[in-house]
A = this chain, B = another copy of it.
Amino acid sequence: MMSPDRRLNVAMLGTKFMGRAHAHAWRSAGRFFDLPAEPGRRIVAGRDAEATRAFADRWGWEEATTRWRTAVSHPEVDLVDVATPNDLHAEQAIAALEAGKHVACEKPLAGTLEDARALRDAARRAEGDTFVWYSYRRVPAVALAHQLVRAGWVGRIYHVRAVYLQGWGGPETPLLWRFRRGRAGSGALGDLSAHIVDMARFLTGEEIVEVSGSIVETFIKERPLPDDPSRTGRSTVDDAVLFLARFAGGAIASFESTRLATGVKNANRIEIHGERGALRFNFERMNELEVFSADDPPPLQGWRTIQVTHEDHPWTGSWWPDGHGLGYEHTFVNQVADMVTAVSGGTPVVPLPDFEDAYQTQRVLEAAVVSARERSAVRLSQIR
């Protein structure tokens, strides 16, 4: 199935960080995977005409436009890839669904719960498939963890401990769009917490039923303006979010996301402990999964570090020989491969999140915000 005659034509909205990662993935998936259809890079939409044209040239898109509605309703397009800021997801993705397209939307599903609900509802009504780019599910080590939990490696789950730590958000970092609620919807919450909530739900296979306490914090309230660092403006998003939660199956969990974990660049880290075993993952060493089995004889028990690059691991057989690790953008390529497989009637290597699924993640984020707002803290001054 090297050069499939079938094509899956894509319209992509957005040309920044995510646009670039998606473009690479649409362009490369068919090189490494034997796909049922070759993705066609049909049209890309951006706000700046010249930059969008240059982007299209560089990444090989047939057409460039500044009018996203043109792209979304393009008759030759099968799938619309929404890689724009969070506040645009709802309008764009709903339009695409209504035009009868499949839609792949960047995470989080939306900047607000209302938008997310509208997207979920639109997806229910639509004929097209929906996907959300929670691409960390496509890290081979994460997918292996998912498979191991399914296979009973962990057993009844007691603990989930998830953090997403970044350290770039110190006081000297300027007031980028990521610090403006209107554009971003939230700070660490939608940017980082969304990832770890999806990851925890994906790995455990369980829903969160309760948020048991939450802190949403903005440490740096004023930041230098990007254009004029001598002046400052107000950050309207959170820098860090911590919350405790309970899963349907009884596990208890903590979630922490922050942009102020000095010294840490990109630690999307999760630890799961169950009755029969345990798992640990850290994106900073993305080609490794640590597993523990309580079935080993006690004096030989220990955490096993698996290099997840074996041909029998998820996706890795399509890449390089064992021991040759993948990098960040491979997760997007893997996701393209799985989405093309799914819309062609096949089964992805591990489940792909659709709008319904991503809406559940969004509800958890909302519960964290509500919990923090209610602020039912116990002051130490009450304890004598």
Contact = CB atoms under 8 A, between A and B. Distances in A.
Interface of A: 2-3, 17, 21, 24, 27-28, 30-31, 54, 57-59, 113, 117, 144, 158-159, 161, 163, 166-168, 170-171, 207-215, 217, 219, 240, 242-244, 246, 250, 252, 254, 256, 258, 260-266, 273-278, 284-287, 291-292, 294, 296, 298-307, 309-310, 312-313, 319-330, 363-364, 366-367, 370-371, 374-384
A146 to B, nearest CB: 13
A303 B301 contact: no
Contact of A262 (B167, B210, B294): B294
Nearest to A272: B262
A330 to B, nearest CB: 6
A275 B31 contact: no
A313 B299 contact: yes
Given A213-B213, A242-B244, A303-B304, A377 B383 contact: no
A364 B379 CA distance: 10
A276 B381 CA distance: 30
B309 A320 contact: no
A161 B163 contact: yes
A57 B1 CA distance: 12
Given A31-B24, A285-B285, A275 B171 contact: yes
B254 A254 contact: yes
A239 B261 CA distance: 29
A214 B261 CA distance: 22
A106 to B, nearest CB: 15
6 smallest A-B Cβ distances: which pairs? A213-B213, A266-B323, A265-B323, A263-B292, A327-B327, A376-B376
A213 B377 contact: yes
B273 A263 contact: yes
B159 A210 contact: no
Contacts of A275: 170-171, 262
A240 B209 CA distance: 19
B265 A322 contact: yes
Give the one of A261, A301, A324 with max B CB within 10 A: A324
A305 B306 contact: no
B286 A325 contact: yes
Contacts of A364: 380, 383
6 contacts: A27-B31, A31-B59, A159-B256, A261-B273, A262-B276, A367-B382
Given A325-B284, A382-B367, A252 B215 contact: yes
Given A246-B215, A303-B304, A376-B376, A240 B284 contact: no
Contacts of A31: 24, 27, 58-59
A274 B168 CA distance: 12
Given A167-B278, A291-B302, 4 more contacts: A254-B256, A302-B306, A367-B383, A370-B382
B374 A211 contact: no
Given A262-B294, A323-B265, A161 B256 contact: yes
Contact of A166 (B27, B59, B298, B323): B323
A45 to B, nearest CB: 18
A210 B363 contact: no
Contact of A378 (B211, B276, B301, B330): B211
Given A244-B213, A244-B214, A323-B166, A58 B2 contact: yes
Contacts of A296: 304
A258 to B, nearest CB: 6
